[in-house]
Chains A and B, each alone.
Chain A
Amino acid sequence: MTTSSPSATTEATIRLRAVDKTFQMGQIAVEALRDVSLDVYRGELLAMVGPSGSGKSTILNIVGGLDTVTAGEVWFHERSLAQFSSAELTRYRRDTVGFVFQFYNLVPNLTARENVMVSTEISCNPMPVEEALRLVGLEDRMDHFPAQLSGGEQQRVAIARALAKNPELLLCDEVTGALDFATGKRVLRWLVDLKNELGTTVIIITHNAALARAADRIIRLRSGQVVETKVNDEPMPPEEIVW
């Protein structure tokens, strides 16, 4: 098992070491991650695959500063995320991370343009809102509300919202999970282009192993543990992927 990626640098942007995460769901404790260690390299497209409940989303949330670990260490460059104060985590999320959610998480009573503005108004180096929406092909739908957009269009707004921040890290949680086949492939193409053109580090998590073929590196998870890490020497173009 190699740990380097052909398109990425050898510099690890994110490092997880012996990470545990336990959730309290009402009266029940759920152990979501157990002794997870992995690296994420700058400029790579990393896919984390595994069945439901394998811990993929949990890792993404921890990397994105949305959640904290129960035990272990998480490093962003040379800084430990576990030592971040609440204000520092907020700044990390604001300035470094772009998050794309499975169910888009758009604000229902804001238009597409305004949903992107939610992100750009607090960013220190945002992209113009119109440019972000143009990048995802929604220049004609900027003033529509989410209820007036298809699932794919809503996902594109969510991507534009994440992109508009010019993030160093783009985290995508089951980004094609709620989309039809064709739209899913289009979204995957944008993510690959983004990585190639802007050098953004992209992490996608999916239970669909076929999608992982577009990634530079694949980490497989099961029951809260890393079972395999594989370098994809020849990432497949999204257009050729079938699922």
Chain B
Amino acid sequence: MRVLDRKLLRQLRSSWGLILAITSIIAVGVTCFGTMASCYWNLTEAMSRYYAQCRMADFSIELKKVPLAELRQVAELPGVSEIRPRIQFLATVDLDGVAKPLNGQVLSLPDRREPVINDIVLKRGSYFTDRRENEVIVNEAFALRHKLHPGQWIHLLLNNRRQELFIVGTAISSEFVYLLGPGAIVPDAEHFGIFYLKQSYAEDVFDFDGAANQVLGLLAPEVRETPKLVLDRAERLLAPYGVFTTTPRCDQPSNKFLTMEIKGLRSFAVIMPTIFLGVAAVVLNVLLSRLAEQQRTVVGTLKALGYTDGQIFGHFLKFGLVVGLLGGLVGCIGGYWTAGGMTALYRQFYEFPELTNRLYPSVILGGFAISLLCAVLGSLRGARAVLRLKPAEAMRPKPPRIGRKTVLERIGWFWNRLTSDWRMVLRSTMRNRMRTATGIFAGAMGACLLSSTFMMVLGLSYLIDFQFHTIIRSDVDLTLGDERGEEALLEAARLPGVDRAEPQLNVAGTFSNGPHRKKGAITGLARGATLTVPRNLEGRPTGIPPDGLAMTRQLAETLHLRRGDWVTFQPTKGLRQPFRAPVLEISDSYLGMAVYTDIHFLSRLVHEELAINRIQLSTDEDPKHLAALYRDLKQLPVLQGVDCRTDMIRNLETTLVQNTYASLLPMIVFAGILFFGAILNSSLISLAERQREMATLRVLGYGPWKLGSLLLRESMITTLLGAILGMPLGYGLTVLVAVMYASDLFRFPVVSNSMVWIATALLAVLYGLTAHLFVQRAVHKMDWLEALQAKE
């Protein structure tokens, strides 16, 4: 080994504390990169394989009813390579041992096994047999949750009739990787399932002989990315059969959530490492500058001996590279390991036949590349400064710093009130600009991460509160199979345990304002409704206009509408004639893009008498009454779905909120590493540079605690300044995340309160104090007598 390399190794060993601090920061950055990038590839590859295996549809068209013979013209459209008609309905599920009626979606499959669009992957049991017509294949998640297995019987309410079905198997499908029930934003395997019926049986039970109400299709490769034209033509062809929705794959709910998550991973694989590696580079820069300055004489001697600038530069660069390599190695291992955990977490939400964590050489190489890049960038400045000196100049003591007054010293009334301790602290802080700026930058990044994480936790809790305690206030929502009149409302009000029943009419259709179009629905509410109360962001009710619309802000912005503008709506039910209505109120919501109006007004617009297809119930809390209510609901043939608000809240809390809380601890640790590493580095360097000064103060009578307090005050100033600057950055990061994950179905609220900022500041102070313990230890251990005599 060359002697300079030996010198390097010994230097690394003697600076192990500082190396550890910087390596930790790099390692965290590379871990974040490795985790996000690995999960990105895990999900992307699993998705690609799964979609290919199940022949995932490129589009689906939901319509009222179409004869199969009429679908030939759709199949022959240019750009369409294959279609598959399907029967699909919502249903309620009556399980033995479960008090509440559950919700389900029924889909038809060919009687005999053949590859189809949106195919299934059998998990247990078998495909349909010839033994009986009323066989069913249940989706695996629902089956597992309710301990259903092949050979059991279940009951579904199909087409107003209670049907008994025999489970032959369980399965999963690529169209339900992220299985969402109607109106849901998180999977709820306990309350929503998918039930596959034989095509022949479905035709029979739903009176759909030779017909379908859903068309799935595959597109030719050249139009796959831009399907709009083809889908518009298909929609026009099928318009006489009552098209409800036309959904390209990119808008298919499961695919949308999955691709959004994958996109988010790609973004975070850049954002998070940048924060950490940026801090690491800056901290390494300070350390290496100090090292080069400390070894000024050695550098001069090496130059005097005949070493080239390149050799000396390479020697210093190796220091940084070792730090980068170590950080990269730890980070790559950490990233792989954490990706395994995160992939396991994903398996809770996303149902794949196989979702495993793999080792990707490109991710490993990428991790090392970014850590080495960080190390090189951090080492450049420090090494370059001393190399510029001639050998003789390098061996001379550094000329004294220019002793100008700092800005604060010019404020006489302030400066004159300070003790000498504070003057030393403030001068040192202001004269070591690079070191102070580094500390502030690291503190800002740490505070940014902390405050952003706190805001996300707060935001989710706020979302649940806003949506499910201020807007939606019903206990149970009933979805009817068809429109009913007022008698359904009266019947519902008479159910056991019901305190109040309010009607709703949901009409799906297309909104348009000039060139701007958006599919959606209008919900008609009763005048004075209390179980759904549209509100604005401040929480104030916007009111239900008697002859106009209250539109969610998101939808209004999409359609370029303001209060007072008129919008055209083309309903998909009734006479399906478009009408125009004024937007009289703008409401806010974090889920969906609801539009509200008076139920009578809406009924008139769709040329109906008072029509009700949804009833909201407010119930008492008596468990006996609730049990009786659920018993009765199970027997109601008109029901298509039953939703309990408490179930939705619980599901959100156990999935999104708990997982967000789970990410809180790692973020606090990561932020701590940033603060800790930067403070420790800066304080120890400061102590090393000012050994003689510190020793002199000892001679004058300063004790080690008083000496330590000087360094503590310096680090607290930079920490707190950094924390203050980081808080608005955290707000900005939260806004960025909210924008990234915003969709028609879900928007993340950006909320903060004083606790967010107080907690961030307190944690910053705590990290600073913890780092200072090590610094104080170094002050106690300092041989100040030797420091007074030593020549550096």
**Residues of A bordering B, CB below 8 Å:** 25-27, 58, 61, 64-68, 86-87, 90-91, 93-95, 97, 99, 101, 103, 105, 107, 109-110, 114, 117-119, 121-123, 161, 165
Q: B700 an interface residue at 8 Å Cβ cutoff?
A: no
Interchain Cβ contacts under 8 Å between A and B, 10 examples: A26-B402, A61-B391, A66-B303, A66-B391, A67-B392, A86-B309, A87-B308, A90-B307, A107-B7, A118-B305
**Residues of B bordering A, CB below 8 Å:** 2-4, 6-7, 10-11, 14, 297-298, 300-309, 311, 390-393, 395, 399-400, 402, 791
* Chain A residue nearest in CB terms to B10: A109
Residues of B within 8 A of A95 (CB): 306
Residues of A within 8 A of B304 (CB): 64, 66, 93, 97, 99, 101, 105
* Chain B residue nearest in CB terms to A114: B3
6 new A-B contacts at CB < 8 Å, known A66-B392, A114-B6: A66-B390, A93-B305, A107-B298, A109-B14, A121-B3, A122-B306
Among all A-B residue pairs, the 4 with the closest Cβ atoms: A94-B306, A67-B392, A61-B392, A66-B391
Residues of B within 8 A of A105 (CB): 297-298, 300-301, 304, 395
B8 vs chain A, min Cβ distance (A): 9
Residues of A within 8 A of B391 (CB): 61, 65-67, 93
* Chain A residue nearest in CB terms to B6: A114
* Chain B residue nearest in CB terms to A28: B399
Contact (A107, B301) CB under 8 Å given A61-B392, A66-B392: yes
Residues of A within 8 A of B390 (CB): 66-68
* Chain B residue nearest in CB terms to A116: B3
* Chain A residue nearest in CB terms to B400: A26
Roughly how many angstroms separate A42 CA and B351 CA in the complex, as a whole number?
87
Residues of A within 8 A of B10 (CB): 109-110
Roughly how many angstroms separate A27 CA and B301 CA in the complex, as a whole number?
26
Q: When the two chains form their complex, are residues A118 and B302 in contact, meaning their CB atoms are under 8 A apart?
A: yes
Residues of B within 8 A of A110 (CB): 3, 6-7, 10
Residues of A within 8 A of B399 (CB): 25-26
* Chain B residue nearest in CB terms to A92: B306
Roughly how many angstroms separate A121 CA and B315 CA in the complex, as a whole number?
14
Residues of A within 8 A of B307 (CB): 90, 94, 122
Residues of B within 8 A of A123 (CB): 306
Partner among A64, A93, A99, A118 whose Cβ is within 8 Å of the Cβ of B3: A118
B interface: dominant SS:
helix
Q: When the two chains form their complex, are residues A91 and B395 in contact, meaning their CB atoms are under 8 A apart?
A: no
Roughly how many angstroms separate A25 CA and B392 CA in the complex, as a whole number?
13
Roughly how many angstroms separate A99 CA and B307 CA in the complex, as a whole number?
13
* Chain B residue nearest in CB terms to A27: B402
B588 vs chain A, min Cβ distance (A): 63
Q: When the two chains form their complex, are residues A118 and B395 in contact, meaning their CB atoms are under 8 A apart?
A: no
Q: When the two chains form their complex, are residues A118 and B4 in contact, meaning their CB atoms are under 8 A apart?
A: yes
* Chain B residue nearest in CB terms to A119: B305
Residues of B within 8 A of A114 (CB): 3, 6-7
A200 vs chain B, min Cβ distance (A): 16
Residues of B within 8 A of A117 (CB): 3
Residues of A within 8 A of B392 (CB): 58, 61, 66-67
Roughly how many angstroms separate A73 CA and B558 CA in the complex, as a whole number?
79
Roughly how many angstroms separate A99 CA and B298 CA in the complex, as a whole number?
13
Q: When the two chains form their complex, are residues A109 and B4 in contact, meaning their CB atoms are under 8 A apart?
A: no
Roughly how many angstroms separate A91 CA and B10 CA in the complex, as a whole number?
28
Q: When the two chains form their complex, are residues A90 and B791 in contact, meaning their CB atoms are under 8 A apart?
A: no
B450 vs chain A, min Cβ distance (A): 39
Residues of B within 8 A of A25 (CB): 399
Contact (A109, B308) CB under 8 Å given A66-B390, A66-B392, A93-B391: no
Residues of A within 8 A of B297 (CB): 105
Q: When the two chains form their complex, are residues A101 and B301 in contact, meaning their CB atoms are under 8 A apart?
A: yes
* Chain A residue nearest in CB terms to B308: A90
Roughly how many angstroms separate A86 CA and B298 CA in the complex, as a whole number?
19
Roughly how many angstroms separate A49 CA and B10 CA in the complex, as a whole number?
39
A119 vs chain B, min Cβ distance (A): 5
B789 vs chain A, min Cβ distance (A): 13
B315 vs chain A, min Cβ distance (A): 11
Q: When the two chains form their complex, are residues B306 and A90 in contact, meaning their CB atoms are under 8 A apart?
A: yes
B688 vs chain A, min Cβ distance (A): 14
Residues of B within 8 A of A61 (CB): 391-392
B10 vs chain A, min Cβ distance (A): 4
Q: When the two chains form their complex, are residues B305 and A94 in contact, meaning their CB atoms are under 8 A apart?
A: yes
Residues of A within 8 A of B309 (CB): 86, 90
A70 vs chain B, min Cβ distance (A): 13
Residues of A within 8 A of B305 (CB): 93-94, 99, 118-119, 122, 161, 165
Residues of A within 8 A of B311 (CB): 122
* Chain A residue nearest in CB terms to B399: A26
Residues of A within 8 A of B300 (CB): 66, 105
Residues of A within 8 A of B400 (CB): 26
* Chain A residue nearest in CB terms to B295: A107
Roughly how many angstroms separate A23 CA and B438 CA in the complex, as a whole number?
33
Roughly how many angstroms separate A101 CA and B309 CA in the complex, as a whole number?
20
Roughly how many angstroms separate A66 CA and B84 CA in the complex, as a whole number?
85
* Chain A residue nearest in CB terms to B11: A109
Roughly how many angstroms separate A118 CA and B306 CA in the complex, as a whole number?
10
Q: When the two chains form their complex, are residues A103 and B308 in contact, meaning their CB atoms are under 8 A apart?
A: no
Roughly how many angstroms separate A90 CA and B11 CA in the complex, as a whole number?
25
Roughly how many angstroms separate A64 CA and B306 CA in the complex, as a whole number?
11
Residues of B within 8 A of A90 (CB): 303, 306-309
Residue among B304, B391, B392 with the highest chain A CB neighbour number at 10 A = B304
Roughly how many angstroms separate A67 CA and B304 CA in the complex, as a whole number?
10
Q: When the two chains form their complex, are residues A67 and B393 in contact, meaning their CB atoms are under 8 A apart?
A: yes
Roughly how many angstroms separate A103 CA and B300 CA in the complex, as a whole number?
13
Roughly how many angstroms separate A25 CA and B402 CA in the complex, as a whole number?
10
Roughly how many angstroms separate A97 CA and B301 CA in the complex, as a whole number?
12
* Chain B residue nearest in CB terms to A25: B399
Residues of A within 8 A of B7 (CB): 107, 109-110, 114
Roughly how many angstroms separate A121 CA and B1 CA in the complex, as a whole number?
11
* Chain B residue nearest in CB terms to A162: B305
Roughly how many angstroms separate A123 CA and B311 CA in the complex, as a whole number?
14
Roughly how many angstroms separate A68 CA and B306 CA in the complex, as a whole number?
16
Residues of B within 8 A of A58 (CB): 392
Residues of B within 8 A of A118 (CB): 3-4, 302, 305
B2 vs chain A, min Cβ distance (A): 6
Residues of B within 8 A of A27 (CB): 402
A86 vs chain B, min Cβ distance (A): 7
Residues of A within 8 A of B3 (CB): 110, 114, 117-118, 121
Residues of B within 8 A of A68 (CB): 390
A173 vs chain B, min Cβ distance (A): 10
Residues of A within 8 A of B302 (CB): 118
Residue among A58, A64, A66, A93 with the highest chain B CB neighbour number at 10 A = A66
Residue among B301, B302, B395 with the highest chain A CB neighbour number at 10 A = B301
A234 vs chain B, min Cβ distance (A): 33
Roughly how many angstroms separate A5 CA and B307 CA in the complex, as a whole number?
34
Roughly how many angstroms separate A117 CA and B301 CA in the complex, as a whole number?
13
B373 vs chain A, min Cβ distance (A): 28
Roughly how many angstroms separate A65 CA and B305 CA in the complex, as a whole number?
10
* Chain A residue nearest in CB terms to B403: A26
Roughly how many angstroms separate A99 CA and B3 CA in the complex, as a whole number?
19
Q: When the two chains form their complex, are residues A101 and B303 in contact, meaning their CB atoms are under 8 A apart?
A: no
Residues of A within 8 A of B4 (CB): 118
